[in-house]
Amino acid sequence: MRIVVTRRIPEAAVETLRQAGEVWMSDADRALEPGELAEAVDGAAAIVSMIHDRIDGSVADAAGPGLCVVANVAVGYDNVDVAALAERGVLVTNTPGVLTDATADLAFGLLLALTRRIAEGDRLLRARRPWSFHLGFMLGSGLRGKTLGIIGLGQIGQAMAWRAKAFGMQIVYSGRSRSAAEAELGARFVAQEELLTTADVVSLHCPLTPETRHLIDSAALSAMKPSAVLVNTTRGPVVDEGALADALTRGEIAGAALDVFEREPEVEPRLLELDTVVLTPHLGSATVETRTAMAQLAARNVAAVLGGEVPPNPVRQ
């Protein structure tokens, strides 16, 4: 059985896949173009896909009727048309759990980098600009006693909340439903409008769906406090990036820490000019341990489906 891997993955995971079928792995140092992807998947029983691959009905058709499973190496699967695949009898799996801490660590790290001006300070020194310690020099703001507003209290949102608790923050959250974790976290469920108007930090942890696309638009940004900051480690299109650049330029919010972008790998050029913005290139899950675990989990999902078993992480349509 042919297993197509759209981009290089750790060797341990390739080994797992080799035991389940015949592996073809792209060795290109970039995402496959749609035409290349269609060609590569021809005859595949399984596709191991990355977030930059658009996997829709036409890709499934290019693979042919033998396609059983698409294992996306990510927790988010907005790049996969799950309904179109289900129609063709193809299962989709993702990699939840193994990237929770890594992503929350990065989100909290970005928050600290922003509020304590870490990246800006690094830039100042590298620019070899003169400086000296004084009591008013490069002041940031503290987190203790501030309110963190979490949009989407799933696994990663909860991990973010635990970190925030350790830093003495109050936690409010909004989302589609209440979470059983709220009592343990001391988190208060509020309407999104209240979250936006009261939080000092708004951190996004909801998946990208038609409902959450541009959830943070100009109206949401102007509802936020002028002293508040936005953290986005989920998916770029949850934020209207143009509206965010406008809001930051006008001082409607105080800053933003972004790991994801609306048109990756592009970044809205106006954001690059602002010292009130901290940017990383989609590094949420980028640790050796986590990326290895993600690839292994995707491989185990493929092996289960090809072996006629129920995979550990099927996604719901």
Amino acid at 150: I
In whole angstroms, the minimum distance from the beta carbon of 194 to ligand GLV comes to 28
Q: Is 214 a catalytic residue?
A: no
Q: Which of 7, 117, 205, 282 is catalytic?
A: 282
Kindly state the smallest distance separating residue 43's Cβ from ligand GLV, in Å: 27
Q: Which residues pair with 172 in a beta bridge?
A: 149, 188
Q: Which of 7, 117, 205, 235 is catalytic?
A: 235
Tokens describing residue 201? 């930090």
Nearest residue (CB) to ligand GLV, 65 versus 142: 142
User: At closest approach, how far in Å is the CB of 223 from ligand GLV?
Assistant: 27
Cβ distance to ligand GLV smaller for residue 98 or 148? 98
Query: Which residue, 152 or 284, has its beta carbon nearer to ligand GLV?
Result: 284
Q: What is the distance between the alpha carbons of residues 256 and 224, in angstroms, rounded to a whole number? A: 12
Max CA distance (Å), the chain: 69
In angstroms, how far is the first alpha carbon of the chain from the final one? 26
Give the pair of three-digit tokens for residue 26. 């792209």
Residue 240 CB, shortest distance to ligand GLV, in Å, is 19
Q: CB neighbours (10 Å) of residue 91?
A: 21
Q: Would you tell me which residues interact with ligand GLV (CB under 6 A)?
A: 51, 74-76, 99, 284-285
Return d(Cα 117, Cα 112) in angstroms, integer.
Answer: 8
Residue 69 C-alpha from the chain's centroid = 22
DSSP letter for 236, please. Answer: G
Residue keyed to tokens 């989302």: 175
Q: Which is nearer to ligand GLV, 105 or 194 (CB)?
A: 105
Active site residue ranges: 235, 264, 282
